[in-house]
């Protein structure tokens, strides 16, 4: 993968993927979306978790608006589907992804962050969906993923009124699972990714692939899918070794945070 606006840095078993277009606030043009897709699709097998970061004062200003003007309806549909394919590889790709958020997390930038599994936001973060006021609609999976974080009512409000959430209100609303001081999001995201990378791979797989699907199933189907997944995950030799280690007093207890 080589793209001037995206970097990939493998640090042991975690990958640092960074948008490197700060002069344009990491706005996502077609090339960058395709580079994101290719990067997540082709992560080395040794990688067990990833961090997604943005260079400069803003995580991501969303769609590169300079590419929007000449598209007709058909091209617009295909463009949206291209984003879906790329962000699908973030959400349901090979490894869990922790987003390190700061500054603007807006429009397609919020759609990208929503495709990640964990979001860590620093105090400078703000969230918005300016699509509503620019006369367009979300197209990067936002209407599917964002209501699952904050609810349909809040997303409707953001798009209809241009409401902007600051970092604190955003965390309370459900955009981010962690809120940290300004400048600390990347380090916290790396710490979490390193921790996630120590999990049994099949547990991470179940959390990425089964949990969100179960959440969309009716209770009866959900219980059945859960039982299948539970059976498969506990059968792995690694699961048995970890449980044995606890019973032999060799594994950490759960302790108060
Ligand atoms: C851009 C973009 C962009 C910045 N496309 N060029 N997203 C938006 O509507 C958000 C638009 N951006 C902003 O509101 C602001 O730029 C920020 C709040 C993110 C940052 O403000 P600031 O003062 O730090 O930067 P700036 O001076 O506004 O921007 C610096 C440069 O980046 C400037 O270009 P320059 O050549 O004049 O230096 C900006 O034009 C450029 N820039 N954002 C193109 N988004 C799958 S559908 C998704 C639909 C959407 O995402 S719509 C929402 C788009």
Distance between CA atoms of 86 and 6, rounded to whole angstroms? 14
CATH of the domain at 148: 3.90.226.10
Answer whether residue 61 is part of any domain.
yes
Check whether residue 225 and residue 132 sit in a common domain.
no
Check whether residue 213 and residue 156 sit in a common domain.
no
Answer whether residue 45 is part of any domain.
yes
Check whether residue 147 and residue 220 sit in a common domain.
no
Question: How far does residue 209's CA lie from ligand 1's centre (Å)?
Answer: 33
Check whether residue 88 and residue 211 sit in a common domain.
no
Ligand 1 mutation pick, 61, 132, 146, max ligand atoms within 8 A of CB: 61
Check whether residue 103 and residue 36 sit in a common domain.
yes
Tell me the backbone φ, ψ of residue 95, rounded to 5 degrees: -140, 155
Which residue, of 164, 180, 197, is where some domain finishes? 197
Catalytic residues: 111, 131
| Contact between 125 and 167 (Cβ < 8 Å) | yes
Check whether residue 25 and residue 78 sit in a common domain.
yes
Check whether residue 177 and residue 71 sit in a common domain.
yes
Helix count (H) and strand count (E) of the chain? 11, 9
Structural domains counted in the chain:
2
Check whether residue 212 and residue 168 sit in a common domain.
no
- For ligand 1, residues with CB inside 6 Å are 24-25, 27, 58, 61-66, 83, 104, 106-108, 130-131, 134, 138-140
Atom nearest to 79 CA in ligand 1: 46
Residue spans of the chain under pLDDT 50 = none
143: Cβ contacts below 8 Å, ≥ 6 apart: 137, 155
Answer whether residue 1 is part of any domain.
no
Check whether residue 176 and residue 209 sit in a common domain.
no
Check whether residue 77 and residue 136 sit in a common domain.
yes
Q: What is the DSSP letter of 252?
A: P
Taking the CA atoms of the chain, what radius of gyration do you get in angstroms? 19
Backbone angle region of 28, left / alpha / beta, with phi > 0 → left and psi within -120 to 50 → alpha:
beta
Check whether residue 78 and residue 47 sit in a common domain.
yes
Answer whether residue 253 is part of any domain.
no
Check whether residue 188 and residue 205 sit in a common domain.
no
Answer whether residue 252 is part of any domain.
no
Give the other-Cβ count within 10 Å of 63's Cβ.
27
Q: What is the predicted pLDDT for the residue at 94?
A: 94
Distance between CA atoms of 36 and 86, rounded to whole angstroms? 7
Residue nearest to atom 5 of ligand 1 (CA): 64
Range of the domain at 112: 6-197
Q: At what angle do helices 108-115 and 73-91 cross, to 10 degrees?
A: 30
Distance between CA atoms of 136 and 230, rounded to whole angstroms? 43
Question: How far does residue 25's CA lie from ligand 1's centre (Å)?
Answer: 6
Which residue, of 182, 197, 212, is where some domain finishes? 197
Residue nearest to atom 25 of ligand 1 (CA): 25
């Amino acid at each position: 993968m080589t793209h001037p606006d995206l970097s990939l840095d493998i640090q042991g078993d975690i990958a640092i993927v960074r948008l490197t277009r700060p002069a344009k606030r990491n706005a996502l043009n077609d090339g960058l979306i395709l580079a994101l897709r290719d990067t997540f699709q082709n992560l080395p097998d040794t990688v067990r978790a990833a961090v997604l970061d943005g260079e400069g004062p803003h995580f991501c200003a969303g769609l590169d608006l300079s590419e929007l003007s000449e598209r007709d309806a058909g091209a617009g549909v295909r463009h949206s589907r291209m984003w879906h394919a790329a962000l699908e590889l973030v959400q349901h790709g090979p490894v869990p992804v922790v987003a390190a958020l700061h500054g603007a997390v807006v429009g397609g930038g919020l759609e990208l962050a929503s495709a990640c599994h964990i979001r860590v936001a620093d105090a400078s973060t703000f969230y918005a969906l300016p699509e509503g006021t620019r006369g367009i609609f979300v197209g990067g999976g936002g209407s599917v993923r964002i209501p699952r974080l904050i609810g349909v009512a809040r997303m409707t409000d953001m798009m209809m009124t241009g409401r902007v959430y600051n970092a604190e209100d955003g965390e309370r609303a459900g955009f981010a699972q962690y809120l940290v001081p300004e400048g600390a999001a990347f380090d916290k995201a790396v710490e979490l990714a390193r921790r996630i990378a120590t999990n049994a791979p099949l547990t991470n797989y179940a959390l990425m692939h089964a949990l969100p699907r179960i959440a969309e199933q009716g209770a009866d189907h959900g219980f059945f899918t859960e039982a299948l997944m539970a059976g498969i995950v506990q059968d792995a030799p690694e699961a048995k070794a970890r449980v044995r280690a606890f019973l032999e007093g060799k594994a950490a207890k759960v302790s108060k945070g």
